[in-house]
Amino acid sequence: AAFAQDGIPEPTPHSQVAFDPEVNFTARWTRADARQIEAMSDPTVPAGENSLPPWLTMPDIDAGFPETNPDVWVWDTWPITDMAANQISFQGWEIVFSLTADPHAGYAFDDRHVNARIGYFYRKADIPASERPANGGWIYGGNAFPDGASAKIFGDIPMTHNPEWSGSARIVNNGGKVSVYYTAMAFNRTPEGQDINPAVAVLARTDGHLHANHKGVWFTGFDDHVELLRPDGFYYQSGEQNPFYNFRDPFPFEDPAHPGKTFMVFEGNTAVVRGARACTEADLGYAPDDPDREDLDEVMDSGAIFQMANVGLAVATNKQLTKWKFLPPILSANCVNDQTERPQIYLKDGKYYLFTITHRHTYAAGVDGPDGVMGFVGDGIRSDFEPMNGGSGLVLGNPTDLNGPVGTPAMQDPTQNPRTFQSYSHYVMPDGLVTSFIDAVGPRRGGSYAPTVRIEINDTLSVLDADYGVDGLGGYGDIPANIAIPRKGPK
C-alpha cells in the first residue's frame, strides 16, 4: 500500500461495487481503514504542530476572523438545493439556513445545542467573494419557523428544550416552494442539565414559501411539521437501546440510477443495546496474516464497543415525500467511531461520494483522527465504499497533533495545536468547495462562518486546492449558488 509503514496494518480491500439500494449490504469503515490516518500522521513533529499531511489539512484560520453577525451564533449551515445538490439562487438572492443561538442569552457557546433554532440568511448572488464584506455579507433573516411549530411534533410529552437540529433545504418548484428536512429534538432535563429521559430525535419536514423583492427575501409557512422517521431499534439505534444514541441530519436526494425514487441519508448508530459486544472481525477488517492486526476481544475490552456509528438510508414511499421507510445503513463504523454526522451524497465523474463529518473525541480507543470531514467512494448509493485517501477516509481535518491530547474546545490542552477545533460541520458543495463554521481558534470561540476552502476530487483521492483564495482560504461563508431561478416578468 502507498502509505505502508511499521506498526500500521493494510487497509481493508473495498471493491466499490454497487448493490441495489434495497438490499442488506452495509459497507464498513473498519479499524484497519481508520488506522491509515495514523499512517499518514507524522509521529516526530514538535508538540502542537500539525502532524497530518497539508493536502488533507484545512489551512489555518486567522484568529482575527470576522464575525458573521454579532447578534447570532451560527454553526451547521446548508444552502437551498435541488435534489441533485445544486445550489440555487432565487430571484437574484443566495439563501442559507444555519443552526443559530443567541449569544446574549447568558449561556456558554457549548450550551447552544439545546437552544438551537434554524435561522436563515441571504445575500445578493453573483458577486465575487473579493468584492463582498470580509464576513461574507450575509443578512440575518431571523428564525425560519414560527415559535412552537416544531414542538407540536411531540404532542404533550414532558420536555424542557425543543431545539431544531440540522438537515437540508430543497427547492420544490421555481415559484419558491421550499421543503426543510431537519431534526426535531425534545429534551427533558433537570435544571442542572441532566436528562430525565433520553432525548427524542425525529427526522421531520416542513414546507414554506420563499419570497423575494429588491430588498431581500422572506419566508411564509413552516407552520405544519410532519414526522418522517424515528429510530426503529432494528437498523437504527433507539433511545431505549442507548440514551446517547445519534439520529439526525436528513439529506434527501435523487439517484440518477434509480429514476422516480427519492432517498435520504442521515446520521445513525448500529441498533444494539449500549455496551453489547457487537463488533465483528469484519468491523476490524484485518487480513488474517496481517502482523499489525488486533485481537477482537481485546478491542471490545478496550471500550471500543461504545462507538457504533452508521450512515442511514431511507426511501420515500409517496410522491409528496412525506412518508419514508428505512433501508439498511449504507455505512457502519462499529468499534471505530460513534458519530458520522451530516452525511451527504455527492456525484462526480460517475462515482458516488459519501461525505460525513466526525470528531476526534468520538473515535474508539485505539483509533484516532482529527475533527473534520471524511469521504467514501463507490459505484452507487449502496456500495462497498472505499474510504478515500489511502483507504483512511480522511478528506479534510483541522490542523492537529495526533501525538498530543484531544482536549475540548473550551478546555484545550496547552500542548495541542490551537487550531485543532478551528472548524467543524464541513459541507461539500459543487466544484469541491467546502463550507464549515468556526468553533474555536485558540481561546477565541467562533459561532461564525469559516472561510470556504476547495478540494480537488479525483477518483479515490482528494487534495486541498492550495491555489484557491489566499493560501487555500477563500471568503468567509462563501456559499455560492451554481443554478439561478430568475424572477419572472418585470422587476
Torsion over CA: 355, 358, 362, 363 (sign): positive
Residue 88 near residue 485 (C-beta atoms within 8 A): yes
Q: Is 229 in the site for ligand FRU (CB under 6 A)?
A: no
Q: What share of the chain is helix, strand, coil (3-state, %, to 5)?
A: 10, 40, 50
**Residue 76 annotated among the catalytic residues of the structure:** yes
Q: Does residue 433 interact with ligand FRU by CB under 6 A?
A: no
Go through 426-443 and write b for each residue having 16 or more CB atoms within 10 A of its CB, e for each that does not: bbbbbebbbbbbbbbbee
Q: Is 113 in the site for ligand FRU (CB under 6 A)?
A: yes
Query: In terms of CB distance, is 113 or 348 closer to ligand FRU?
Result: 113
Residue 166 interacts with ligand FRU (CB under 6 A)?
yes
Tally helices (H) and strands (E) across the chain: 4, 25
CB 9 within 8 A of CB 292: yes
Task: State in angstroms the smallest separation of the CB of 173 from ligand FRU.
Answer: 27
Q: Which of 121, 165, 187, 353 binds ligand FRU (CB under 6 A)?
A: 165
Q: According to the binding rule CB under 6 A, does residue 348 interact with ligand FRU?
A: no
With beta carbons less than 8 A apart as the criterion, state whether 456 and 431 touch. no
CB 437, CB 424: distance < 8 Å: yes
CB neighbours of 477 closer than 8 A, spacing ≥ 6? 68, 77, 135, 136, 138, 435, 448, 449, 450, 452
Cβ 163 to ligand FRU shortest distance, Å? 7
Annotated active-site residue in 76, 164, 294, 401? 76
SS3 (DSSP) at 407: coil
Integer Cα distance of 149 and 145 in angstroms: 7
Is 452 a binder of ligand FRU (CB under 6 A)? Answer: no
Whether 379 is catalytic: no
- 207 touches ligand FRU (CB under 6 A): no
Q: Which of 123, 248, 426, 445 binds ligand FRU (CB under 6 A)?
A: 248
Residue 341 is a binding residue for ligand FRU (CB under 6 A): yes
- Nearest distance, CB of residue 127 and ligand FRU, angstroms: 28
**Residue labelled with grid coordinates 416578468:** 489
The nearer residue to ligand FRU, 358 or 460, going by C-beta atoms, is 358
- Tell me which residues in 392-421 interact with ligand FRU (CB under 6 A): none
Residue 351, interface with ligand FRU (CB under 6 A)? Answer: no
* The binder of ligand FRU chosen from 33, 38, 67, 76 (CB under 6 A): 76
- In terms of Cα–Cα distance, which of 258, 236, 263, 234 is closest to 247? 236
100 interacts with ligand FRU by CB under 6 A: no
Options 94, 249, 386, 478; binder of ligand FRU; rule CB under 6 A: 249
Bridge-partner residues for 464, per DSSP? Answer: 455
Cβ proximity to ligand FRU, 81 vs 383, nearer residue:
81
Closest CB to ligand FRU among residues 29, 286: 29
Considering the rule CB under 6 A, would residue 454 count as an interface residue with ligand FRU? no
Find the binder of ligand FRU among 72, 85, 116, 457 (CB under 6 A): 116
Nearer to ligand FRU, 375 or 380 (CB): 375
Q: Is 98 in the site for ligand FRU (CB under 6 A)?
A: no
- Taking CB under 6 A as the criterion, the residue among 8, 99, 203, 377 binding ligand FRU is 99
3 state SS of 341? strand
Can residue 96 be called a binding residue for ligand FRU (CB under 6 A)?
no
The reply on whether position 382 binds ligand FRU by CB under 6 A is no
Name which of 319, 330, 314 is nearest 260 in CA terms.
Answer: 319
Min CB(389)–ligand FRU separation in Å: 22
Shortest Cβ 13–ligand FRU spacing (Å): 30
Q: Look-up: residue for cell 502482523?
A: 291
Q: How far is the CB of 145 from ligand FRU (least distance, A)?
A: 15
Cα–Cα nearest to 77, from 305, 330, 228, 249: 249
Single out the residue of 120, 64, 148, 51 nearest to residue 416, CA to CA.
Answer: 51
CB 421 → ligand FRU: shortest distance, Å?
Answer: 12
445 binding ligand FRU? (CB under 6 A): no
Query: Nearest CA to 277 among 257, 304, 254?
Result: 304
Q: Which of residues 175-194 bind ligand FRU (CB under 6 A)?
A: 183
Interaction pattern, residues 35-74, with ligand FRU; x per rule: CB under 6 A = ----------------------------------------
User: How many whole angstroms separate alpha carbon 96 and alpha carbon 76?
Assistant: 10
Cβ(355)–Cβ(396) under 8 Å? no
Q: Cα–Cα–Cα angle for 238, 242, 245, nearest 5°?
A: 65
Phi, psi of 325 (to 5 degrees): -130, 145
Kindly state whether residue 77 participates in binding ligand FRU, applying the rule CB under 6 A.
no
Determine the size of the site formed for ligand FRU (CB under 6 A). 14
How many CB atoms lie under 10 A from the CB of residue 277?
A: 13
Q: Is 171 in the site for ligand FRU (CB under 6 A)?
A: no
Work out whether 310 is an interface residue with ligand FRU (CB under 6 A). Answer: no
Q: Which of the following is catalytic: 283, 338, 341, 478?
A: 341
Q: Which strands make up the sheet holding 248-253, listed edge to edge?
A: 27-28, 324-334, 308-316, 263-269, 248-253
Enumerate binding residues for ligand FRU (CB under 6 A): 76, 99, 113, 116, 165-166, 183, 248-249, 267, 341-342, 424-425
- The residues that are catalytic are 76, 341
